């Protein structure tokens, strides 16, 4: 699919061959930021001076004839729940006011080693809890393709930054669809890797058994390159898989001849007709390219959202207990310790975060643990088993990424249950720990982008990227 902006691969190549400089590329992106950031609000912080210093360093390396990294001079934006040494990391929450991490997240270090230039920290739903980036303490992010609409969430700022041309690529985190859904709504490629394939070290935790980091890009090839840079074993993360990332850029031209593509029978309700039409067109394109379409069922899919909204809030209530006003962030002075805890959390957390902490604490409480959290874990197992059965007869599965195109800002803000249904197709992958990605495939209602989701089993990234590359060629 043609993109209006230079891709990460094109930028790095042009800097390596001397046809441009990292500083010139950066200034182009900063000019776009200064032109449109006021209306879009993709960033919580634009790191202009640090970015210029990095770009100048890369230019010196290039001038000296030194070898440059795979992402040399490529402007990249980071979701503001990724630790950046000495640079504010807020998670779009007032409770982390003034906190500057003393270390970088592993993915940030790997980007730096590859020569990427960080242009800023992007807005998100507070602590990554939301599907529209309207739950930020610093105000909503708007979709660059139509600023009356949401960019998706929770990584809406990261998606908007790439869609608006503020950065050539960005990183988001995906707990229940927070990379794939905004990628779909903003017309981008978004990848949620197999759990453990990309390090979580230095990512501020929401739900530790579900969170994964992945890229937003304009092209499948850029996404493959970003994955190769950030992926692979990290000894600092106990959940990191002890193996290297398989090559993804090497498989992009292999096509889909002979592959089996799963088509879900019994699709959940609520999909816009145009979204289903684009999905059918995707199946037709893959079939024409030599793939076989196989009907599959996922009987427990309908319970995915219910299980997720018990497991994720339970883990969040445990993870967010550390924000108490004692060691870092906001502190509201009170007469005694317990009232200080209460006052700090009341002032520091937003409504959606409070809602999920209360839900999770209730699900974990004595007398309810087995009935709610324990049962949700059993449903999680059922979903994994259903996927295993499905993948015995197909290599990948195709679904819509989001049941709808980007919706107007404010339309679902007062109805959490309707908002939660945005993630009906994305959540099951997180529960199973598998990989999935969203690929733009035409437009739907209001001429807004539609994303097709390619799902694959754990460590099935190569098959997933082969199919994604074929869809990109067809679109």
Average pLDDT over every residue of 237-249? 96
Does the structure show a pLDDT above 80 at 325? yes
pLDDT in tens, 15-73: 999 999 999 999 999 999 999 999 999 999 999 999 999 999 999 999 999 999 999 99
Residue 237 lies in a domain: yes
Active site residue 154: yes
In this prediction, residue 412 carries a pLDDT of: 92
Strands (E), 290-347: 292-296
The SS3 assignment for 371 reads helix
pLDDT the model gives residue 208: 97
In whole angstroms, give the CA distance from residue 136 to residue 414: 15
Return the closest-CA partner of residue 296 out of 260, 269, 257. Answer: 260
**Residue 400 · residue 276 · CB < 8 Å:** yes
Quick check: is 78 in a domain? yes
Q: Please state the rounded mean pLDDT for residues 306-320.
A: 97
In a domain, 396, yes or no: no
Catalytic residue among 23, 79, 93, 192: 79
What are the start-end ranges of the H helices in 197-272? 220-230
Q: Are 357 and 316 in contact (CB under 8 A)?
A: yes
Pairing status of strand 260-264 against strand 292-296: parallel
Q: Is residue 93 part of a domain?
A: yes
Candidates 231, 235, 234; CA nearest to 197 is: 231
Domain extent for 235: 8-251
Predicted TM-score of the model (pTM): 0.97
What whole-number distance in Å separates Cα of residue 285 and Cα of residue 307?
34
Catalytic residue among 178, 184, 199, 402: 178
Mean per-residue pLDDT over the chain, rounded: 97
Q: Is residue 420 part of a domain?
A: no
CATH number at residue 19: 3.90.1300.10
Residue 291 lies in a domain: no
> Is the CA virtual torsion 385, 389, 394, 399 positive or negative?
negative
**Tens-digit pLDDT profile for residues 252-279:** 999 999 999 999 998 888 899 999 999 9
Given the residues 136, 154, 184, 317, select the one marked as catalytic.
154
pLDDT tens column, 66-121: 999 999 999 999 999 999 999 999 999 999 999 999 999 999 999 999 999 999 99
DSSP letter (8 states) at residue 87: B
pLDDT band, residue 3 (cuts 50/70/90): confident
238 found inside a domain? yes
User: Does residue 20 lie in a domain region?
Assistant: yes
Number of neighbouring beta carbons within 10 Å of residue 378:
10
Domain count, the chain: 1
For the segment 138-185, what is each residue's pLDDT rounded down to a tens digit?
999 999 999 999 999 999 999 999 999 999 999 999 999 999 999 999
Match 């700022």 to its residue by tokens.
157
**How confident is the model at residue 2, as a pLDDT?**
61
């Amino acid at each position: 699919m043609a993109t209006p902006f230079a891709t990460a691969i094109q930028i790095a190549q042009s800097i390596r061959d001397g046809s441009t400089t990292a500083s010139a590329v950066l200034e182009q992106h900063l000019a776009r930021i200064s032109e449109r950031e006021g209306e879009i609000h993709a960033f919580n912080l634009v790191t202009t001076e640090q970015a210029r210093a990095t770009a100048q360093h890369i230019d010196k390396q290039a001038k000296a004839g030194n070898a440059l990294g795979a992402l040399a001079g490529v402007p990249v934006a980071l979701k503001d729940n990724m630790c950046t040494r000495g640079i504010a990391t807020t998670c779009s929450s007032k409770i982390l006011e003034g906190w500057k991490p003393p270390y970088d997240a592993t993915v940030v270090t790997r980007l730096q080693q590859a020569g990427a230039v960080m242009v800023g920290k992007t807005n998100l739903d507070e602590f990554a809890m939301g599907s529209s980036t309207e739950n930020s303490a610093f105000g909503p992010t708007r979709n660059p393709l139509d600023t009356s609409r949401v960019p998706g969430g929770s990584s809406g700022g990261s998606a908007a930054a790439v869609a608006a041309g503020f950065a050539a690529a960005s990183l988001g985190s995906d707990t229940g669809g927070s990379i794939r859904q905004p990628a779909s709504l903003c017309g981008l490629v978004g990848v949620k890797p197999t759990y453990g394939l990309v390090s979580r070290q230095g990512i501020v935790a929401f739900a530790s058994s579900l969170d994964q980091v992945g890229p937003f890009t304009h092209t499948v090839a850029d996404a493959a390159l970003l994955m190769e840079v950030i992926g692979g074993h990290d000894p600092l993360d106990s959940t990191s898989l002890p193996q290297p990332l398989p090559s993804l850029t090497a498989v992009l031209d292999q096509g889909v001849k002979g592959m089996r593509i799963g088509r879900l029978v019994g699709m959940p309700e609520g999909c816009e007709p145009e979204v289903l039409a684009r999905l059918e067109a995707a199946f037709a394109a893959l079939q024409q390219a030599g793939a076989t379409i196989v009907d599959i069922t996922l009987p427990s899919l309908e319970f995915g959202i219910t299980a997720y909204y018990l497991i994720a809030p339970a883990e969040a209530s445990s993870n967010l207990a550390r924000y108490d006003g004692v060691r870092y962030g906001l502190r509201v002075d009170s007469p005694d310790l317990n009232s200080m805890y209460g006052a700090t959390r009341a002032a520091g957390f937003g409504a959606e975060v409070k809602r999920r902490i209360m839900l999770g604490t209730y699900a974990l409480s004595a007398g309810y643990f087995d009935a709610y959290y324990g049962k949700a874990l059993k449903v999680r197992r059922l979903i994994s088993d259903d996927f295993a059965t499905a993948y015995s007869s197909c290599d990948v599965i195709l679904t819509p990424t989001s049941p709808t195109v980007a919706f107007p800002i404010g339309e679902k803000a007062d109805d959490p249950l309707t908002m939660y249904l945005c993630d009906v197709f994305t959540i099951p992958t997180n529960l199973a720990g598998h990989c999935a990605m969203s690929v733009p495939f035409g437009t739907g209602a209001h001429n807004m982008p539609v994303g097709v989701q390619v799902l694959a089993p754990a460590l099935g990234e190569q098959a997933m990227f082969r199919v994604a590359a074929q869809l990109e060629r067809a679109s």
